[in-house]
Amino acid sequence: MFLLTDPLRTVFKYREILFRTTVGEVRHRYAGSVAGMFWLVISPILLLTFYSLVYLVIFRVRPTSMSEYEYVLYVLAGLVPFLGFSEALNIGASSLFVNKAILLNTVFPSELVPLRAVLASQGLTVVGLTLMLFATLVLGKLTWTALLIPILLLLQVMMVLGIVWLLSLASLVIRDIQQALGFVTMTLLIVSPIAYTPEMVPEKLKFLIYLNPLSYFVIGFQDIIVFGRHPSGLIMGVMIGLGLISFGIGFWVFQRAKRVFFDHV
């Protein structure tokens, strides 16, 4: 628990400037485009529509235990959080490198640079999950378990943030990390049960799913959104552990190693 004290204290202390700069980064990302901030809504709608057409009209592949619409919802319930994780990982890992000018800034601590990047990358995830909750309401599948979604999203953000704190430092001296992350996210996509259920995987290969930390979050979101049930105690426990441990250790290592890496910039 002591590992969580410092990062939580830092976030609380700089919460106002963190909020303002995160909003500014989101606005800057869409500045100059015709639709502007509306892309936060347009992008997930287009994404969900595209995947719905692909799985309903083209592939027509689904588990026998689900209807066509349930299967599409199942895929999207895993895909949207995955995309949020992937975007946060890639943008966050390069956040220090593209913001070298403020690495030693005392007004805006360097610890908050990766955090800001991760938070700014969650817009599509939040809007996408909101749209799926609306879909579950229309289908009559919305239950009280939907209240757990913000908790799962927070735990996933904490997990990816801990990883990003480490990768953003390493990226200052090892530029290959950014290129390698493309292959990492592709591998995670394949071994995450997004378009298939864990039961569809051969017994000899199931361990690959559960070695993938992202699988637990994918399964958790699918349980809540598609099946209207809370994740099992094991799944919930692993998500809590991954989120808290990654968050605490990532910040602890960042604070103690940042000076060494900053000297190479």
Q: What is the pLDDT of residue 252?
A: 93
Please check the confidence at residue 34 and state whether its pLDDT lies above 60.
no
Q: What is the pLDDT of residue 90?
A: 92
Distance in angstroms (rounded) separating the CA atoms of residues 190 and 195? 9
Q: Structure tokens of 76? A: 């999207």
Count how many residues are written for the chain.
265
pLDDT digits (tens, 9 = 90+) for 98-157: 877 777 666 778 889 999 999 998 888 888 888 888 888 887 888 899 999 999 999 999
Q: What is the pLDDT of residue 198?
A: 86
Could you give the angle at the alpha carbon of 205 between the alpha carbons of 202 and 206, nearest 5°? 85
pLDDT digits (tens, 9 = 90+) for 66-110: 777 788 888 888 988 998 999 999 999 988 888 777 776 667 788
Residues 6 or more apart from 244 whose CB is under 8 A from it? 4, 155, 158
Q: What is the pLDDT of residue 102?
A: 73
pTM of the predicted protein model: 0.89
pLDDT digits (tens, 9 = 90+) for 209-257: 999 999 999 999 999 998 889 999 999 999 999 999 999 999 999 988 8
Better-scored residue on pLDDT, 62 or 243? 243
**157 CB neighbour count, 10 Å cutoff:** 22
Single out the residue of 258, 263, 253, 251 nearest to residue 9, CA to CA. Answer: 251
- Contact 113/16 with Cβ under 8 angstroms? no
Strands (E), 117-205: none
